Structure 1
Amino acid sequence: MRLKKISPAKMLMYDKEASNRKQEIDRQHHTIPNQRKQRPKDKHCGNICWQKIYLRAHAYLCIIRSAWRYISMQLLKWLSITDRFYKIYLDKQLAPYGINNSQYMFLIKICRSPGILQDSLMDMFYVHPSNIVRTVAALEKQGMITRSPNDKDKRTCKLYPTERALSIIDKIQMICEKTEALLLQGMSESEQNLFMDFLIQAGRNITSELHIERKGEEFND
């Protein structure tokens, strides 16, 4: 049998492959140090990974809570700003007619419902009864309304608008509509409807929490 002659280049290649193979076997048997140091496994690696996940989730939760707290404070802030400055604006508009932002709702209601009972106002407005008594007395003093006894119940009285009140009530109504339009400026019709729904719901939430109930709303008629 003739042996095949192998060239020196191939002999060198085979020697190199053999040497590499030997080194690989030695590494597997730990006879020589591995050139690439592997990271030692930690027997607590699983626990450490879960701790990292927990800490990251907790950090995200803190961020969400902070954002929600910021949003909540913004809500209270802008409700306060809107309430304060719309009243200032309304007072300026109503000043020429001798009434203010705490009286216009009562005057509109009395002009719409002549002969309305004073006590029935307490079931319509989210206002303390003592405030209603003071407001009615102020409107009577300003010549906007008159009071007459109620034959069926002497404890209350009927309220009627005067000629002076009837002569300005349309202008007062227009001022109220103008103020509402100003507050809703920049909103589409659908956004205005949503805003009103959300605002009413917010009002009902807080009055329900305080156990305040009313038989009717201010301007349902």
Structure 2
Amino acid sequence: MTGGVARPRARSVQGRGQRTGALGSGVEPALGGATPSTAEVPTDEGDFAQHEAAAASFAFLIHDVARQFRQIFDQRVRALGVTRPQWRALLNIARREGITQSELADLLEVERISLCRMVDRLSDVSLVERRADPHDRRVWRLHLTPKARAIVAQLNEIGAGVEGEAMWALTAAEQTMLRETLDRIRVQLELQRREIAPL
């Protein structure tokens, strides 16, 4: 998938890759383009400006695809009676059972007081339980209730459907390449983030 977005091509149902993945798989959707290993290194000011513009377009494209995923997902989960902040919290707790409130706030990029109020509401409707940390009674750890697990199962099913429809035009090999490329980019960005993080 190098050299920009691949041109659509006719393909039989049997020729397509198996629809895989589910919401919460850890893979963010994006479009193809030059991978870090094949991208040209800028050699002068003009090349550098062009390279920066391409990078900005790629970042925007990833953001826009993710935005559309969220919007479609939101439309389909309304019947479950959970808001976007709530389903994001439930899915993150499901992935990291026993996570602390402060850790969840950091993952969701919300203020801790806002997260506390959200957990209060989820607790009031018997979706989340707060349990004291056995080693530090000042720390609360979050766990899903059986009722919440049933909702998370439905969220994952809906997410798998949205992802499957989005990946419909890609073969299994193309899906694998896309996931591997995005994972490499994610690792690189994480390394950069840690380098500039304050001590």
Instruction: Give me the TM-score of the superposition, normalised by structure 1.
Output: 0.54
Q: Quick one: which amino acid aligns to residue 191 of structure 1?
A: E
| 1:161 is aligned to 2:141 | no
Partner of 2:188: 205
> Any conservation in 2 of the 1:121–1:132 contact (CA below 8 Å)?
no
4+ residue stretches of structure 1 with deviation over 6 A? 60-63
| 1:140 is aligned to 2:120 | no
CA distance in 2, matches of 1:159, 1:172: 19
Cα deviation for residue 183 of structure 1 reads 3.2
More relative contact order, 1 or 2 (CA 8 Å, 6+ apart): 2
Partner of 1:78: 61
**1:77-156 equivalent positions in 2, closer than 5 A:** 77-111=60-94, 116-118=98-100, 121-122=103-104, 125=107, 127=109, 130=112, 133=116, 135-156=118-139
> Any conservation in 2 of the 1:90–1:100 contact (CA below 8 Å)?
no
Cα gap change, 1:123 to 1:182, in 2 (>3 Å): same
Cα deviation for residue 154 of structure 1 reads 0.8
List per-residue Cα deviations over 1:3-43 (Å, max 9, x = no partner). Answer: xxxxxxxxxxxxxxxxxxxxxxxxxxxxxxxxxxxxxxxxx
List per-residue Cα deviations over 1:165-197 (Å, max 9, x = no partner). Answer: 133222111012122223323111121112112
List per-residue Cα deviations over 1:138-181 (Å, max 9, x = no partner). Answer: 43244311213234311212333234213322211101212222
CA distance in 1, matches of 2:139, 2:76: 32
List per-residue Cα deviations over 1:66-122 (Å, max 9, x = no partner). Answer: 6534422320221221122221111112222122344435424545776x1425945
Which structure is larger by alpha-carbon Rg, 1 or 2? 1
Q: Quick one: which amino acid aligns to residue 80 of structure 2?
A: Y
CA distance in 1, matches of 2:108, 2:53: 29
Cα gap change, 1:76 to 1:158, in 2 (>3 Å): closer
Specify every segment of 5 or more residues in structure 1 that has no aligned partner in the other structure, as ranges: 1-59, 213-221
Q: Quick one: which amino acid aligns to residue 86 of structure 1?
A: F
The CA RMSD over aligned residues, in Å, is: 3.6
